[in-house]
Amino acid sequence: MLPPLWSNHHQTTAKLTMDSLSSEHTSNISHLAHIVLGEIRKRDIDTADIIAKRSREDSVTVRQGQVEMVRRQISRGIGIRVIINGRLGFAHTSDVSEASLSSLVDRAITLAKEAFPDRGHGIAKPAPVPASDELDVFDDTLLTVPLEEKIDRVLRLEKAMLASDPRIARSVGCHWHDGDDETVIANTLGLSQSWRGTGVSIVGQAVAEGNGQMQSGWWWSQARHRSDLDTPEEVGSEAGRRAAIMLGARSIATVRAPVVFDTPVASQVLGVLFRALDGETVRKRSSYLVDRRGDAIASNLVTVIDDGYMPRKLGTQSVDDEGTPARKKTLVKNGILKQFVYDIRGARLSRAKATGNAQRSYGSLPSVGPTNLYVVPGDLTRDDLIKTVKSGILLTRILGSGVNLVTGDVSWGAGGIWIENGELTYPVEGITIAGNLLDLWKNVDAIADDLDWRTVIACPTFRASEMMIGGK
Amino acid sequence: MEPRSLPTGQFSFFDRGIIQDVIEAALTRGGDFAELFVQRSSSNGASFEEGHIREAESGARLGVGIRVIKGERTGYAALDELSKDTLMTAASAAAQIADSPAGDRRVILPVGCTVIPTISPILRDVDSVALAQKTGLLERADRGARAQDSRVIQVVVQYAELRRDIMICNSEGLWVEDSAQIIRLVVRSVVETDNRRETGRYGIGGHVGFEIFDKLDAQDCGRRATRQAVTLLDAREAPAGPQMVVMANGWAGVLLHEAVGHGLEADAARKGSTIFAGKLGQQVASELCTVVDDGSLPGYRGSIGIDDEGSPSERTVLIENGILRSYMTDQLNARLMGLPLTGNGRRESYLHVPIPRMTNTFLEAGDSDPEEILRSVKKGFYAVEFGGGQVDTASGQFVFNVTEGYLIEGGRATAPVKGATLVGNGPEVLKQVDRVGSDCALDPGLGTCGKAGQHVPVGVGQPHLRIREMTVGGTAIAAPAVV
């Protein structure tokens, strides 16, 4: 018996559950993919691939001790790419009736005929990949978590958050999310891969008030397995701490100074580096890393790895969304740019190999994305790293999309804590951090040991020796 | 056009009897309110790269969201299978947010479904335009971008059209349908000289048909993208620090969107997570500032006939001569806060719960001559084109990125400046507005706003503005600002 959505009340009639919704709804997407493959073969198309995805996502939101929302989302759909004489047509739908699937193939063929031949288009050859139980990304206990337990977790999180500091004025909402999904990739070369995964996260968002200011703070934990989550108390008190610590924030005078990137911000900056490593962007000369392969693009402390085969991690999958194995790659080794990342088209156009980084929903064409992307940690503790800063800033948040990938110029709105003689002093906001990514990464002069996987992109705390901080 | 009433609407998603059963099933646990939202969307698009159509795509989606509200609680179930059995199961699932014994509430639906007349008339429906004509458009955009300057090394053109048909039915007897079409063309150009590369971007769009290209040809979009990239080739580093700032009209309205817009959405006000909470009737901006949200303007990207709860869109004065007048509401927040409905309950799709969102948000024209505003600044920064922005509504801290800016020296825009970011605090920056131009314009129709994981099309706008002091983020040290 699966747990009901809401069962703190006795019902006389049969219990209707969210899970019955799921089981009735879940069509067999492998079956769908093979129906479509059959439709394609009937039409004499020799190159095509199919992606079918199904997902379930549940969430619970509480605020100020009350349940505010319970939500379930079920979706599934299918996308096909047809390649005729090098011309690509792409069609997708959430309607999986037989008539719709048949017309889907016809639509893709019509579109392919309109496109221009492009030598980049291709599909993946079948290749050996790790077994899914080695990768261990499915936690079946997540399919049967009673709603009461989810609510209880979030209420505990919120309670810890509100109690973490007397200046925490209220909760803006605390959440539980869990979900599972299934993906099927199949193509006319005989490739057929399918995999399932689960995910779970808890999030707290607090508002602190004091010094005539209001500040927000949030924190989260996210994992494939429930047992890998931080406790609700740990997450709640960190969310509260992050709001309270910013009270009294002020701007500072414009200055050049060392910048210490706190882990969430460091991960964001690493994500930008990854975008610049997209081989297709480089081929189109739209990345600042054009012509830099083999060059030092970062300090020799910096090694960047992308690895889809790490067991239990958020970005783990045996193959990417085109069917290319998502194996481990060192992108930057001791500061030297070793390789770019490619999906099939990017690889073919650059005469390189696809790297297992193609990502897509059923309704989109592939683009390159990270699997588990990280900077190899150093051996300093974070505290020791901060202690060596005479005068600088610990950057805890960046705002805005101020990245020019073509030039590498960045300019973000920012906030953080000022460091004086190795000590964290007062909070800072209303400032900007600007520079060039090449300088930023080359100026990295310390990396801490605090690598922490709460996102698919993980980066330990690191320090750039100097950046421009714009303020008053 | 007058609203029409049709027995099953124009889309005939479901029979009236099924809808009635679903809504009643959603109320079986004593919910106060139940709603069925159905959405069918179709999209077509193509991208043009390196002189040819890289790919053409076509997609379709159909799904429902069932919502039940009890007090402050919401239950929501979304799915993309539309059999009666699945709908009934989803309705019962959403129903369970309420916790009363099984009720037996009857719901009376109107006899027919009201079809909302479009507020954005389409002169040339995209479906009536031959595919060859669309691909010709992409070619022209590419040609325009390349012909503008010999240093162009890359051009990417993207074209997309989206049709969205919705039906909303609720336990209060609302049963309506609406449909909308959006079109969008964007050109990105990369130029290279010696060791430098720069990029520029321009595009147009909105709730319009193919006639939009009569107003501005694709070729011109291409030229503008290249022109911006070429300007940046000569750009110097942005000065860092506080400066007097003049903001151009149009897209610069993203400042308002970030600085005040999000802070005036009623959910943030109710949860006390905005600096504008509890400030109705108070001075929150300079008296030169009147800020409006208006989804009922025809043709813009944020234009909607009704919101995604069925409330008509309208002109809402948010700030009038500097005084905070109104928040933007959805049904839930309007009811809980005792505020009027403003037609801002929007959702990305059937997968999402409606929340208060902006439509077209702009600062109204003042009486200063835009050229005079520039001339009035001895030394400052002129922000012309923008990337995106972001705000933390609690502290009011916001940021937005300038993709094309110039130094102002002696009342004239002089050297182009690259990579600048403007930061500030929402209410503080609006109090610093001391000149408002007469040239209010909305953006060219490309804006998308993200909030709580949901993306919706929006419009932004403003006239030329002068801001006494704002922090500019750059890499060069600025000389002190002089008025």
pLDDT at B200: 93
Residue count of chain B, please give it: 483
Same domain, A180 and A291: no
Residues of B in contact with A111 (CB under 8 A): 55-58
pLDDT at A15: 30
CB B455 within 8 A of CB B352: no
CB atoms within 10 A of CB A55: 18
Min Cα separation A460/chain B (Å): 25
Give the tens place of pLDDT for each residue, B308-349.
999 999 999 999 999 999 999 999 999 999 999 999 999 999
Task: Tell me whether residue A249 is in a domain.
Answer: no
Same domain, A231 and A320: no
> What mean pLDDT comes out for the span A437-459?
97
Same domain, A179 and A146: yes
Residues of A in contact with B75 (CB under 8 A): 5-6, 69-71
What are the extents of the domains in chain B? 4-233, 237-477
pLDDT higher than 60, residue A23: no
**Measured between CB atoms, does A416 come within 8 Å of chain B?**
no
Phi, psi angles (nearest 5°) of residue B409: -130, 125
pLDDT higher than 60, residue A30: yes
Same domain, A315 and A271: yes
pLDDT higher than 50, residue B480: no
pLDDT at A27: 53
Same domain, A163 and A284: no
**Measured between CB atoms, does A118 come within 8 Å of chain B?**
yes
Average pLDDT, chain B: 91
Most confident stretch, A36-45, B289-298, B416-425 = B289-298
* Residues in CB range of B65: below 8 A, 6 or more apart: B36, B37, B39, B76, B77, B78, B347, B350, B351, B352, B353
pLDDT at A5: 29
Task: Tell me whether residue A12 is in a domain.
Answer: no
**Measured between CB atoms, does A214 come within 8 Å of chain B?**
yes
> What mean pLDDT comes out for the span A192-212?
94
Q: Confidence band (pLDDT; 50, 70, 90) for B438?
A: very high
What's the N-to-C CA distance of chain A in angstroms? 62
- Closest partner residue to B99 (CB to CB) among A6, A20, A89 is A6
pLDDT at B102: 66
Q: Which residues pair with B355 in a beta bridge?
A: B346
Q: What range does the domain containing A311 cover?
A: 255-470
pLDDT at B6: 86
> What mean pLDDT comes out for the span B142-160?
96
Residues of B in contact with A18 (CB under 8 A): 77, 93
Q: Cβ separation of B77 and A16 shorter than 8 Å? A: no
Give the tens place of pLDDT for each residue, A340-350.
999 999 999 99
- Decide yes or no: CATH 3.40.50.300 for domain B4-233: no
**Measured between CB atoms, does A291 come within 8 Å of chain B?**
no
Q: Cβ separation of B60 and A468 shorter than 8 Å? A: no
Positive or negative, the CA dihedral B81, B87, B90, B94 is positive
pLDDT higher than 50, residue A261: yes
- Closest partner residue to B73 (CB to CB) among A18, A67, A286 is A67
- Domain CATH code at residue A119: 3.30.2290.10
Record the tokens describing residue B323, joined without a space.
């005084």
Q: Which residue has the higher pLDDT, A133 or A122?
A: A122
> What mean pLDDT comes out for the span B383-406?
86
- Closest partner residue to A115 (CB to CB) among B56, B77, B418 is B56
Q: Confidence band (pLDDT; 50, 70, 90) for B389?
A: confident
3-state secondary structure of A345: helix
pLDDT at A6: 30
pLDDT at B477: 59
Min Cα separation A329/chain B (Å): 28
Indicate the pTM of the whole model. Answer: 0.90
Task: Tell me whether residue A9 is in a domain.
Answer: no
DSSP B292: E
Give the percent of chain B with pLDDT over 70.
98
- End position of a domain, from candidates A217, A243, A269: A243
Instruction: Give the distance, in angstroms, between the CA of residue A310 and the centroid of all CA atoms in the same chain.
Output: 15
Please tell me the distance from the alpha carbon of residue A430 to that of residue A178, in angstroms, as a whole number: 36
- End position of a domain, from candidates A243, A273, A291: A243
pLDDT at B3: 79
C-alpha distances in Å from residue A4, one per residue of A152, A409, A431, B77, B299: 15, 52, 49, 14, 46
* Overall domain count for chain A: 2
* C-alpha triplet B303, B402, B289: angle, nearest 5°: 55
Give the tens place of pLDDT for each residue, A63-80.
999 999 999 999 999 999
Residues of A in contact with B52 (CB under 8 A): 115-116, 118
pLDDT higher than 60, residue A22: no
Average pLDDT, chain A: 91
Q: Which residue type is seen at B350?
A: Y
Give the percent of chain A with pLDDT over 90.
83
Q: Which residue type is seen at A239?
A: A
Question: Could you report the predicted ipTM of this complex, rounded to two decimals?
Answer: 0.86
pLDDT higher than 60, residue B10: yes
* C-alpha triplet A116, A117, A120: angle, nearest 5°: 120
Task: Tell me whether residue A3 is in a domain.
Answer: no
pLDDT at A1: 27
Same domain, A259 and A212: no
Please tell me the distance from the alpha carbon of residue B260 to that of residue B391, in angstroms, as a whole number: 9
Give the tens place of pLDDT for each residue, A377-389.
999 999 999 999 9
3-state secondary structure of B116: coil
- Closest partner residue to B61 (CB to CB) among A94, A213, A409 is A94
Phi/psi class of residue A431: alpha, beta or left (left: φ > 0; alpha: ψ in -120 to 50)?
beta
**Measured between CB atoms, does A259 come within 8 Å of chain B?**
no
Q: Confidence band (pLDDT; 50, 70, 90) for B432?
A: very high
pLDDT at B479: 44
Same domain, A363 and A235: no
Residues of A in contact with B56 (CB under 8 A): 88-90, 111-112, 114-115
Give the tens place of pLDDT for each residue, A215-224.
999 999 999 9
pLDDT higher than 50, residue B481: no
pLDDT higher than 80, residue A17: no
Task: Tell me whether residue A124 is in a domain.
Answer: yes
